[in-house]
Amino acid sequence: MDKKKKLSPQNIALTVLLSLVSLVWIYPVFNIVINSLKENRFITTAGVFELPKSESFIGIANYIESINGMDFLRSFWYSLIITVSSVCLIMLCCSMAAWYVVRVNNLFAKIFYYLCIFSMVVPFQMVMFTLANTADRLHLNTPYNICVIYLGFGAGLAVFMFSGFVRSIPLEIEEAAMIDGCSPLQIYFHIIIPILKPTIISTAILDTMWVWNDYLLPTLVLDIKKYRTIPMAIQYFRGSFGTVNMGAMMASIVIDIVPIIVLYLICQKYIIEGVVAGAVKG
């Protein structure tokens, strides 16, 4: 019966439909990859969808040019510092805040929780100019402390997911630890953190993809002459009078997305586990 169910017309049609939808999402990435192997003059409106030919194929020349042209190592370092520091800060502060909100459950905790939820629906464009001015005044305009700003924008989703999972943790576990003499910090780091592992990993992956690929916030806050993340550096392949080095830009985009794709493929199972645990159990 199970075999007949798997081979039913409905399942076959659904499989075909989802396969076509997946191709729609995969094709732009494939198109970027094939164009990164072409000479710049062959990447035109007419030839952008063509596969590389003998006269247009130039191998890894675009990748070498992109690495040299955008000072790749320095941009990679700034992107790595911003992403790692921001994600670690979000995971630590938001998981601790969610634990406090769920366990204390007083008026202040409820107000704090709903403010975090409300921040998820506020468009970034509403606060970006005020944010840039505030960041300059508080000296948050370097790659080493911009993580504080990312904490503010990432707190909404993280607190929401962590709160849903913390509600599923039996309070008796924490009470038993307190009887054994554990302090609140010991309970948090030795009991709560290990239990929160699926949600921490899934939220960290989602925030990593967001921070690593973010262009607007670093452009507004950082000094673009001194600090350029990879998304910011890619824009400098635009020349004067609207000219664009498309080959090098396509190669830069491939270099930018490869680390995130690898990370997602390795950890994708944790995303599903964490989202389900945080959204359903709560």
Q: How many domains does the chain have?
A: 2
pTM for the full predicted model: 0.82
Give yes or no for residue 192 having a pLDDT over 80: yes
**Residues 76, 57: one domain?**
no
Residue 59 has pLDDT above 60, yes or no: yes
Where does a domain end: 22, 44, 63? Answer: 63
pLDDT at 1 (0 to 100)? 45
pLDDT confidence bin for 271, thresholds 50/70/90: low
- Clarify whether residues 22 and 121 are in a common domain: no
Asked if 23 and 78 sit in the same domain, the reply is no
What is the share, in percent, of the chain residues with pLDDT greater than 90? 19
CB 211 within 8 A of CB 88: no
Same domain? For 107 and 150 the reply is yes
Q: Are residues 99 and 154 in the same domain?
A: yes
pLDDT at residue 279 in the model: 47
278 neighbors 212 (Cβ within 8 angstroms): no
What are 26's two structure tokens?
Answer: 């995969």
Q: Which domain holds residue 19?
A: 2-63
Residue where a domain stops, chosen among 23, 41, 63: 63
Q: Do residue 103 and residue 154 come from a single domain? A: yes
Same domain for 51 and 87, yes or no, is: no
Nearest Cα to Cα of residue 44 among 236, 250, 257: 250
- Tokens representing residue 8 in the block: 């039913």
Confidence of residue 79 (pLDDT cuts 50, 70, 90): very high
Between CA 86 and CA 204 the distance in angstroms is 10
Residue 4 predicted with pLDDT over 60: no
- Answer whether 252's CB lies under 8 Å from 237's CB: yes
Question: Domain check: are 21 and 42 in the same one?
Answer: yes
Predicted local distance difference test score (pLDDT) of residue 80: 93
CATH of the domain at 186: 1.10.3720.10
Are 30 and 114 in the same domain? Answer: no
What whole-number percentage of the chain has pLDDT above 70?
89
**Residue after which a domain boundary falls, among 15, 42, 63:** 63
Same domain, 275 and 196: yes
Distances (CA, A) of 118 to 113, 126, 153, 186: 9, 14, 11, 31
Residues 273 and 173 in one domain: yes
Based on the domain organization, do 41 and 74 belong to the same domain?
no
Q: Which residues pair with 270 in a beta bridge?
A: none
Distances (CA, A) of 199 to 205, 214, 264: 10, 22, 15
